[in-house]
Structure formats: structure tokens, C-alpha cells
Structure 1
Amino acid sequence: MNATPTVPPPDAPAPRSRLALYLDLIRWDRPAGWLVLLWPTLGALWLAAGGFPGWHLLVVFVLGTILMRSAGCCINDVADRDFDRHVKRTARRPVTSGQVSVREALLLGAALALVAFGLALTTNALVIAWSVPALLVTIAYPFTKRFFAMPQAVLGIAFGFGIPMAYAAVQATVPLEALWLFLGKIALVLAYDTEYAMVDRDDDLKIGMKTSAIT
């Protein structure tokens, strides 16, 4: 007698290609995430250069911004996988749903960050030096949601590193003007990501996630 075929539950995600899953993991279909990093960074490039900064720096910072935001998504989803399954908006993310393994996500994130670092190597020593704390804050951000009342401020720092790096690339120094812009970027991220986090506020209260939307 033939065995009864296994029928997946009605809410199970449909099988997808690895490429589609990886693109979903880095939020490729939601470009707003890297655009809010890119526009202030490009603004800093133009201000630092007093006009068009040149094609080399433009390509480096556009690609570097997209790559590092994508790497950050991989790290964030691995760190938050046990929390995300309890939040409606994030329960079907590739790592949380088990469609992409933790190892795959980390390898993809590392590869993207390595390419971004390769781009930084084509600039100067000061840009390379700033890229190290930028990476460390990107890695640390997801874990701050466990103990820090306003992790969105840490996200603002991670998102703002492109500004001093842009000045460093053009002027080989980071003037006070760049630091004021950096602070402004932190405030901007704190504002819009707090509004964004309001969507998850009820779920975050249940699971004990720290967020400025609750604070």
C-alpha cells in the first residue's frame, strides 16, 4: 500500500531558489534601507569635494553603502532569529523561517563586507581606519536590542559612518563639519526608525525586546 504523501502546512513558505532567498535576506526588494544611507553619504561627498567628487569615489561609496547595508541585514537576521519568529512582520524572514541557514547567512554577510572592504582599500589609510569601527558597530547593533533602551541610536551611528568616511576619502581628514553631519544623521535615524519600530511595539513588549518605540 502506498504511503500517504506529506502535505506541507498551509502557512509553509513555498520553495524558492537560493538566489531569491539571498536577495530577500539582504532586502533587495526594499531599497529604502540603503537609500537612507546613500543620500547623506553622497551629500557628504559633494560637500567635502565642493562639487562632483569624481567617478572613482562615487562608485566606491555607492557600492560600499549597498554592500554594507546588505551585510548588516545578514548579521541582524542571524542575531534576531529567535526574536523574529514572535513578530508578525519578521516571522517569514529567510533565516527565521529556516529557509536559509545561519552559516549561509553569515558567509554571505562576510563576503559582502569583504568586498566592501576591498573598495575601501582603493581610497586611503584614513578611510580604511574608519571602516573598522563602522564594521564593529554594524555587528554590535543587533545585540544592543537586548539591553540598551534606544538601539535606534546605535543604528544611527552605524548608518552615519559613511559621512566621516566620505570626508576622509576626499580631504584625507575629518573636519568638525563632518562630525556635525554625523550627529544629524544619528538624529535622523533615531526619528524615522522609532516611527518604523511602532509597527512591532506590541510584539516587542511581549518578547522583551528593547526599542526606542517602547522607551
Structure 2
Amino acid sequence: MTDGALFPRERREIAPGAVHVPGWLSLDRQRELVAACRAWARGPVPLRHTVLPGGGVMSVRTVCVGWHWRPYRYSRTADEVNGARVAEFPDWLVRLGQEALVAAYGESAARGEGAAPAYTPDTALINFYDGDARMGMHQDREERSGAPVVSLSIGDSCLFRFGTTRARGGPATDVELVSGDLFVFGGPSRFAFHGVPKVLTGTGSPGTGMRGGRLNITLRETGLAG
């Protein structure tokens, strides 16, 4: 699938277990996700800037589904926001995550091989980036499951920086993520440092239903019960 570029962008393994699949989401599916994210952003726990333990405020705005994330743990209720329980994680989002894993790794990855369980994401962290928002290099370590993280991009393109598991300031690969792109990281790259140093303002298509900015949806298995 192409994204309107002169030359098609090809599926690429950035590092072992880290796969970029350009143009994976159709325009219709992007619009559906945008509509769903707008509904979640209105509540029960609204879209907001997350406050870090040291008092800093993240430049992205976040809303969660299934489990509520705050640095650096999960809970069912957003006690530091309004005390409400977050929206339930829908079955169709589980299926989308499984389809994404098939696109990145092949059929056996989503179904589970041997004694390995099937991929069953139970939370989504949805980040909205305006033109000034950034995400520093970090690891996704709050989950008790080592299952892959599925990342979906809609709206403006961004520069995505993908490093190693060893050091925040170590060597990294820069990837341009365009609306509709899929990025999956698991296996040896599951705990790699990654971040978004730049959003390419004005590059998104109005056909997605976005009115500017970048939407990033990450699906994860928390490994938590209850």
C-alpha cells in the first residue's frame, strides 16, 4: 500500500523485533479510529496533560482505554484526574492489535506458538501531539507482560527515534512515521528506548478526519488482572 509518495515505502525491520509497516491503516479505518478517540477524549476520563512525579508536565495530551496509565503504574481509575474508571477496552481493538501483529510478524505471532498465549492487548495509550509536542526517549516498562507494543499513527507525520535497550542516549535510528503507518516492537526490542523529537506540522490529510496534529495509539498487554 502506498501513501502518495513517488516511490512506495516498504516494510522494514528497524531492529530485531522492531518492524515498520508503512500505510497499513486504510483511510476508512483511520477515520473510524479518529472518531473513537474523540469519544474517549470526552470521558469518562478526559484527554489531559499528564503531570510527571517531579512536577513537570508532558507536552502531549493523553487519554487511556482499558487501564489508566500514569507515571509509572496502571490503575483502573484515574485517581489523580477525576477518580473515574477509564473506558472499557473493546473487542474490536483486540482484533485490530492481532491483525497488526500478523502484518508485522506473521500469522503465528498473533495466535501464539506452542505454549505461548495469543496476543491480547488490554490497554491503549492514546497520545495527541500538536505542532509543539514532543516525547523524550523512554522505555515502556510498566507492563508485567513482555508482549509487543503496537503503535498506530494518524494525522501529521513525525520523526520517530528508535534506540537500543541499553542506554537512553545510545545509538538510534530515525524513522518518519506517516498517517496510517504501523510500528511494532517486541522480542529483543521490547524495552528499547524510543521517542518523538519532532512533529511535521501540516503533513496530515484532512481525509482522516483530523483537524491538525498527530494521533498515536499504542496497544499493550499489561499482564495485570482484575
Q: Same-fold call, TM > 0.5?
A: no
**Richer in strand (by share):** 2
Larger Rg: 1
**Richer in helix (by share):** 1
Q: TM-score, normalised by structure 1?
A: 0.29
